[in-house]
């Protein structure tokens, strides 16, 4: 099977659901991972001129491709482009790939603009590729530009109507869609980290310290509770707070708060090992209940104590993590020096990993796609 995977993030970015699933699925099928286009308009604004296309192979069945974005318009203009003129150059470069596709995977609503009018989805449905929508985030809530929001809502509505199969990460997404679509399946996020015993002999990314070290790994955006971390830094000046990942908002200027930026994806588990307590400090909002956080799986796989904001999706891990609803509850937990690890034995850690790794997730996805194909063929047989 040839799969065209329209990803929300570049393959070289921090390793998350898109890269992990693409890698696992490529064990059995040919996958073309389409990196997001860098538009000429964006390059003109930032003067970095990185709009060129590229292609390389991760393995014999996993190919990375990015279209040339010289004549591509910024996504902010897509909402007003009724004639789809802004995407012609990208669609031209993708036409050959799409014409031979058995399955088209949309991992970000905005990417649907590149296939919505394609001839491969017109005419005889039996000859059309399977269209999969992987709804992993509420991108409308994440977006702050109003025109992009409207555009994503339009694309999301059409995808929910036209996709053959919809995969969702959270219970909130599933509850919203299952009554409106016949093929909606909840496939949570997972982890690729397995705690090894003994640990590899390698210099840790952070030096040992007698200070208690709280750590967070992930993007730091407007959904991140900055004031909560500021309160922790003030309440426990003797502790160290480590924030790892790209920063999209203002930084905290307090001496015990340290930023380390983006790190290589193969070093994430080593950074987590340096933490005494792992944090998931997102703002409490309706958006929170739609998130199935990858970092929680990674923290648990490394058997680290976790303090996380309470949410609908984290209730399934209530026996493994510490949750809070208010700032006072958060600070109370942070003051406790006897927080226990999620698992007491290596066997428990292994069981968690076996149930929640990306191979398990990709095998489930492929079996659900195969079931859909069988159902589709049975339906045609009796027409």
How far apart CA 32 and CA 57 sit, in angstroms, is 9
Domain boundaries, the chain: 2-190+358-381, 213-346
Position 42 pLDDT exceeds 90 = no
Q: Which pLDDT score, from 0 to 100, does residue 296 have?
A: 95
How far apart CA 102 and CA 127 sit, in angstroms, is 9
Position 183 pLDDT exceeds 50 = yes
Question: Tell me, which fold does domain 213-346 have in CATH?
Answer: Rossmann fold (3.40.50)
Q: Which pLDDT score, from 0 to 100, does residue 124 have?
A: 54
Enumerate residues 6+ apart whose C-beta is below 8 A from 40: 51, 69, 70, 71, 72
Q: Which pLDDT score, from 0 to 100, does residue 380 have?
A: 43
* Residue range 276-289, pLDDT digits in tens: 999 999 998 888 99
Query: Contact 35/6 with Cβ under 8 angstroms?
Result: no
First to last CA, the chain: 25
Q: Which pLDDT score, from 0 to 100, does residue 243 have?
A: 97
Question: Tell me, which fold does domain 2-190+358-381 have in CATH?
Answer: Rossmann fold (3.40.50)
Instruction: Pick 381 or 88 by higher pLDDT.
Output: 88
What value does the mean pLDDT take over residues 1-5? Answer: 96
Q: Which pLDDT score, from 0 to 100, does residue 292 have?
A: 94
* Residue range 241-277, pLDDT digits in tens: 999 999 999 999 999 999 999 888 788 899 999 999 9
User: Mean pLDDT score of the chain, rounded to an integer?
Assistant: 89
Tokens of 240: 């160290």
What value does the mean pLDDT take over residues 25-35? Answer: 97
What value does the mean pLDDT take over residues 193-212? Answer: 74
Instruction: Pick 226 or 51 by higher pLDDT.
Output: 226
Q: Which pLDDT score, from 0 to 100, does residue 127 have?
A: 73
Strands 103-106, 2-6: pairing kind: parallel
Q: Which pLDDT score, from 0 to 100, does residue 136 have?
A: 93
Enumerate residues 6+ apart whose C-beta is below 8 A from 273: 199, 204, 302, 304
**Matching fold, domains 2-190+358-381 and 213-346:** yes
């Amino acid at each position: 099977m040839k799969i065209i995977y329209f990803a929300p993030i570049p393959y070289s970015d921090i390793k998350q659901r898109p890269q992990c699933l693409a890698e696992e699925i490529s064990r059995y099928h040919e996958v073309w991972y389409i990196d997001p286009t860098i538009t000429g308009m964006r390059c003109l604004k930032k003067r970095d001129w990185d709009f060129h296309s590229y292609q390389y192979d991760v393995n014999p069945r996993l190919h990375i491709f990015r279209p040339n974005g010289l004549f591509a318009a910024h996504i902010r203009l897509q909402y007003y482009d009724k004639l789809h003129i802004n995407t012609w150059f990208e669609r031209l470069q993708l036409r050959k790939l799409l014409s031979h596709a058995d399955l088209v995977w949309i991992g970000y609503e905005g990417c649907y603009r590149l296939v919505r009018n394609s001839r491969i989805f017109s005419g005889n449905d039996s000859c059309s590729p399977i269209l999969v929508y992987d709804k992993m985030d509420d991108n409308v809530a994440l977006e702050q530009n109003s025109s992009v929001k409207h555009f994503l809502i339009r694309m999301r509505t059409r995808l929910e109507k036209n996709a053959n199969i919809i995969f969702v990460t959270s219970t909130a997404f599933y509850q919203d869609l299952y009554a409106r679509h016949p093929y909606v399946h909840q496939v949570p996020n997972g982890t690729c980290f397995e705690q090894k015993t003994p640990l590899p002999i390698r210099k840790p990314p952070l030096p040992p310290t007698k200070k208690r070290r709280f750590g967070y790994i992930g993007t730091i955006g407007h959904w991140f509770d900055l004031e909560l971390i500021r309160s922790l830094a003030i309440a426990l000046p003797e502790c160290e707070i480590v924030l790892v990942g790209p920063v999209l908002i203002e930084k905290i200027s307090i001496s015990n708060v340290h930023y380390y930026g983006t790190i290589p994806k193969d070093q994430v588990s080593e950074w987590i090992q340096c933490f005494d307590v792992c944090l998931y400090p997102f703002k409490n909002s309706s958006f929170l209940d739609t998130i199935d956080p990858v970092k929680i799986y990674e923290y648990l796989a490394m058997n680290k104590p976790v303090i996380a904001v309470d949410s609908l999706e984290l209730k399934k891990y209530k026996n493994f993590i510490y949750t809070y609803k208010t700032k006072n509850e958060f600070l109370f937990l942070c003051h406790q020096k006897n927080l226990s690890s999620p698992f007491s034995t290596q066997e428990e850690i292994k069981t968690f990993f076996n149930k929640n790794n990306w191979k398990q997730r990709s095998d489930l996805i492929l079996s659900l796609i195969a079931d859909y194909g069988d159902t589709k063929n049975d339906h045609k047989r009796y027409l």
